[in-house]
């Protein structure tokens, strides 16, 4: 039990046994309900609408982090990742971080201070929720746009989570902690996480957490899922064969083509086209480097990507591109370390804002992205899972040198029955 029990929100069954549930009604209290994986331990705090004035700064943060992440993991192979999903999952972790761990996370993720982070996240998340619905395409026909995001947290049953941490999860992320037997049946917990992600992404991501990623020592899994499906505002036309300059040599692929009046833009080192989706609330911007991707990626860091996406296209463009279906699975620990988020993965990690019952560290950050686009539209999915484990107490290797007389005992392990006792005084003495 944490030494600061006044600051800890206890599991629901404990509060019921103490008869103290009514005393916790209202803000900062407890909501307990049935949930997959066990009771939901959550602060009795309503999801807050957030502050729209905080949205631009948060968009800048996602853009800067996304460009950094792309530069850190973007080798010349195919890649699909969602900086939004990764940032939201790690933002939940950030609300439990303190000290140097928190400072490093803020710098690596380009986060504003917590007073602005939660209101910005909540406002932006709820804004994204308005993007779903019936929308008109260029022909005036009603079509359906889907954009869904969701957060979920699984925690070791019986653990004591700090009240402010649970209040932040409820207020800014709309979730609590589902009590789960992570220690007793980690494989069942892993399947539960993957089932939830598959459901949220319409089976586009079915195995976010690979075998062995949830272990008996796992204390918490924090996940975010994103799913988008939308038709283009104007469907592409077939474009015929296209010779594509792949790293291994030219390849011939099918293509699709469209003309976008006022949809093109040219910048320093790149040419881009913005392809609107039905309703004009979402778009896909494609960017071709003048030289190569290795030159373009660093140019997008800082405010480069945010500025490119905010820039209004100013000229017509005839776009021709291949239809694609891509999937990427990433373990982001090394990339995040390179971006400066180091202490969170070490025994020196400070997550006492999450729990004071034991010290935790981030064990792994799993991410998957999927994208398919053709002449009619696009569908995309992404998910991020963060696993938390306890810090192992540092140990000093035991040194034992048998350089003086010693005893030994041959024994039965289960019962402790000594079968043979041995005393060695002079190991050089010959057996008689």
Please report, for the chain, the start and end positions of each structural domain, with discontinuous segments joined by +.
5-229+325-390, 237-324
Is residue 183 classed exposed, middle or buried when 0-12, 13-18 and 19+ CB atoms within 10 A define those classes?
Answer: middle
Which residues does 321 contact at the CB level (< 8 Å), separation at least 6?
A: 239, 242, 255, 256, 257, 286
Quick one: pLDDT at residue 5? 29
CATH class of 237-324: mainly beta
Quick one: pLDDT at residue 367? 94
DSSP codes joined into one string, 208-276: SS-TTSS-TT--EEEEEEEEEEEEBSSPPEEEEEEEEEETTEEEEEEEEEEEEEEEEEEETTEEEEEEE
Distance from CA of residue 340 to its chain's centroid? Answer: 17
Distance CA(156)–CA(161), nearest Å, equals 10
Q: State the residue for tokens 């006022």.
A: 262
In tens, the pLDDT along 181-233 reads: 999 999 999 999 999 999 999 999 999 999 999 999 999 999 999 999 999 99
% residues pLDDT > 70 (the chain): 82
Kindly calculate the radius of gyration of the chain based on its CA atoms and give it in whole angstroms. Answer: 27
| Residue 205 CA: distances (Å) to CA of 80, 195, 258, 371, 379 | 12, 9, 30, 11, 12
| Residue 39 CA: distances (Å) to CA of 14, 97, 181, 269, 385 | 12, 24, 11, 53, 20
Q: Are 274 and 285 in contact (CB under 8 A)?
A: yes
Distance from CA of residue 47 to its chain's centroid? Answer: 20
3-class secondary structure, 394 = coil
Structure letter (DSSP) for residue 44: S
Distance CA(307)–CA(292), nearest Å, equals 20
Structure letter (DSSP) for residue 89: H
3-class secondary structure, 286 = strand
Name the CATH topology of 5-229+325-390: Antithrombin; Chain I, domain 2 (3.30.497)
Quick one: pLDDT at residue 28? 36
Regarding pTM above 0.75, the answer is: yes
Torsion of CA 270, 332, 36, 185, to 10 degrees: 160
Q: Residues of the chain whose pLDDT is less than 70?
A: 1-38, 74-76, 393-403, 406-425, 427-432
- The torsion angles phi and psi of 324, rounded to 5 degrees, stand at -140, 155
Percent helix, strand, coil in the chain, to 5, is 30, 35, 35
In tens, the pLDDT along 252-301 reads: 888 888 888 888 888 888 888 888 889 988 888 888 888 888 888 888 89
Distance CA(153)–CA(130), nearest Å, equals 24
* Helix locations, 130-178, DSSP H: 163-173
DSSP β-bridge partners for residue 42: 31
Q: Are 336 and 365 in contact (CB under 8 A)?
A: yes
Spatial CA neighbour of 131 closest among 226, 204, 240, 221: 226
Quick one: pLDDT at residue 221? 97
């Amino acid at each position: 039990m944490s030494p600061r029990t006044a600051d800890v929100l206890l599991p629901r069954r404990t509060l019921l046994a103490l008869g103290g549930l009514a005393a916790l009604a209202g803000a900062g209290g407890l909501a307990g309900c049935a949930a997959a994986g066990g009771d939901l331990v959550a602060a009795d705090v309503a999801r807050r609408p957030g502050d729209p004035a905080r949205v631009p700064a948060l968009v800048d943060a996602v853009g800067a982090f996304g460009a950094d992440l792309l530069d850190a993991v973007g080798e010349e192979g195919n890649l699909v990742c969602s900086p939004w999903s990764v940032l939201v999952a790690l933002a939940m972790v950030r609300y439990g971080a303190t000290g140097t761990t928190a400072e490093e996370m803020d710098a690596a993720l380009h986060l504003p201070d917590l007073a602005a982070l939660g209101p910005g996240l909540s406002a932006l998340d709820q804004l994204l929720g308005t993007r779903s619905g019936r929308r008109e395409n260029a022909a005036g026909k009603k079509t359906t746009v889907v954009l869904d995001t969701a957060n979920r947290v699984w925690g070791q049953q019986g653990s004591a989570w700090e009240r402010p941490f649970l209040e932040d999860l409820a207020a800014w992320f709309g979730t609590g902690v589902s009590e789960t037997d992570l220690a007793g049946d980690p494989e069942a917990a892993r399947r539960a996480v993957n089932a939830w992600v598959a459901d949220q992404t319409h089976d586009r991501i079915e195995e976010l957490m690979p075998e062995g990623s949830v272990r008996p020592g796992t204390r918490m899994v924090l996940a975010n899922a994103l799913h988008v499906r939308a038709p283009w505002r104007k469907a592409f036309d077939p474009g015929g064969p296209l010779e594509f300059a792949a790293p291994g040599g030219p390849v011939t692929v099918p293509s699709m083509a469209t003309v976008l009046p006022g949809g093109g833009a040219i910048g320093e080192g790149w040419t881009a086209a913005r392809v609107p989706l039905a309703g004009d609330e979402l778009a896909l911007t494609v960017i071709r480097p003048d030289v190569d991707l290795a030159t373009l990626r660093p140019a997008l860091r800082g405010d480069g990507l945010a500025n490119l996406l905010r820039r209004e296209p100013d000229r017509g463009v005839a776009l021709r591109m291949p239809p694609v279906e891509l999937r990427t699975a990433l373990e982001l620990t090394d990339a995040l370390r390179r971006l400066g988020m180091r202490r969170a993965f070490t025994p020196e990690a400070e997550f006492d804002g999450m729990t004071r019952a034991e010290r935790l560290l981030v064990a792994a950050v799993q991410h998957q992205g999927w994208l398919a686009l053709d002449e009619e539209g696009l569908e995309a999915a992404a998910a991020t899972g963060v696993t938390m484990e306890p810090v192992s107490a540092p140990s000093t290797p035991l040194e034992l040198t048998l350089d003086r007389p010693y005893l030994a005992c041959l024994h039965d392990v289960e019962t402790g029955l000594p079968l043979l006792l041995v005393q060695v005084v002079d190991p050089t003495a010959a057996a008689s």
